Amino acid sequence: MKAGQNVLQALILTKNEEPNIKRVLDKLTWIERVVVLDSGSTDATLNIIKAYPNVEVVYRAFDSFAQQCNYGLDLLTSEWVLSLDADYVLTDDFITETQQILSSPGNNVGYFTRFEFLVFGRQLVSNNTTPRAVLFKLNAGSYFDDGHAHRLKIEGLTGNYKAKILHDDRKSLSRWLANQDGYSVKECDKLLHNNGEKLSFSAKIRRNKVIAPFFVFFYSLFVKGLIFNGWAGWHYTLQRTMVEILLAIRLIEEEKLK
């Protein structure tokens, strides 16, 4: 069943998503209008997108994730928005449930979903991602920056999907490391300049600098059970540990250079 343009449109941010974008768009052909907001791809991303007649590309120079997303929302004209990252692959169950929600949404103006994390195309037994609102009414949602991440503020009642989205990022390790380097700068600034806001438990652990890398390593490998996922589990665990190590190094530098 096709979702009409006045009912649902999708928004995706891209920059050099050649390894991912085809698998994502293959699962969005049931939506009549998908807007891709690109910030200067130099790989085959834009050529791949041309094969999808329901996809429209708009260019905007990147400043922040929240600003980029809010600009993208202004390009949409539908009642509902499906806001996705360029490595979010929809499952058939998720598509079916979305169509059911649109046909009978009730009083909710937004819906959160959980994720199944894939490494080397293999699904992990568990992961550290948190639920995210991906479906919401256009007039009820807006984004704000939070460290390196962007968060969605929804005005109104929300519900939860039963189905999950596949988080399947296949970009190179070099690209991942470059991204994490930039993210660590923003997270460091958030932790050190929180404008008097009370730090969460996880933020306090990160500010300690020593505990977080060890905690994430053992939590991912043993509490989450990723040791049973073979090398895919080790890969995910080491990546998450590396994120905390980079942040700890940034924090030490910032505090010592004051």
CATH code: domain of residue 21: 3.90.550.10
Q: Are 139 and 194 within one domain?
A: no
Is residue 188 within 8 A of residue 247, CB to CB? The reply is yes
Over residues 201-211, mean pLDDT: 88
Residue 22 located in a structural domain: yes
Q: Are 119 and 203 within one domain?
A: no
Over residues 118-134, mean pLDDT: 92
Residue 2 located in a structural domain: no
Tell me what pLDDT residue 31 has.
98
Q: Are 51 and 143 within one domain?
A: yes
Domain boundary among 138, 167, 196: 167
Say yes or no to pLDDT of 68 above 90. yes
Tell me what pLDDT residue 186 has.
85
Report d(CA 220, CA 233) in Å as an integer.
8
Residue 117 located in a structural domain: yes
Over residues 14-40, mean pLDDT: 98
Q: How confident is the model at residue 211 (pLDDT cuts 50, 70, 90)?
A: very high
Domain boundary among 114, 134, 167: 167
Q: What is the mean pLDDT of the chain?
A: 93
Residue 1 located in a structural domain: no
Residue 3 located in a structural domain: no
Over residues 26-37, mean pLDDT: 98
Q: How confident is the model at residue 196 (pLDDT cuts 50, 70, 90)?
A: low
Report d(CA 120, CA 26) in Å as an integer.
19
Domain boundary among 167, 190, 223: 167
Residue 198 located in a structural domain: yes
Tell me what pLDDT residue 5 has.
76
Say yes or no to pLDDT of 4 above 80. no
Q: How confident is the model at residue 258 (pLDDT cuts 50, 70, 90)?
A: low
Q: Are 112 and 216 within one domain?
A: no
Q: Are 218 and 129 within one domain?
A: no
Q: Are 14 and 73 within one domain?
A: yes
Q: How confident is the model at residue 160 (pLDDT cuts 50, 70, 90)?
A: very high
Lowest mean per-residue pLDDT among 10-24, 73-87, 136-150, 213-227: 136-150
Q: Are 27 and 135 within one domain?
A: yes
Residue 145 located in a structural domain: yes
Who wins on pLDDT, 3 or 38?
Answer: 38
Domain that holds residue 180: 173-256
Q: How confident is the model at residue 148 (pLDDT cuts 50, 70, 90)?
A: low
Q: Are 36 and 140 within one domain?
A: yes
Q: How many domains does the chain have?
A: 2
Q: Are 140 and 161 within one domain?
A: yes
Q: Are 27 and 99 within one domain?
A: yes
Tell me what pLDDT residue 79 has.
97
Q: Are 86 and 153 within one domain?
A: yes
Residue 181 located in a structural domain: yes
Q: How confident is the model at residue 202 (pLDDT cuts 50, 70, 90)?
A: confident
Q: How confident is the model at residue 2 (pLDDT cuts 50, 70, 90)?
A: confident
Q: Are 117 and 222 within one domain?
A: no
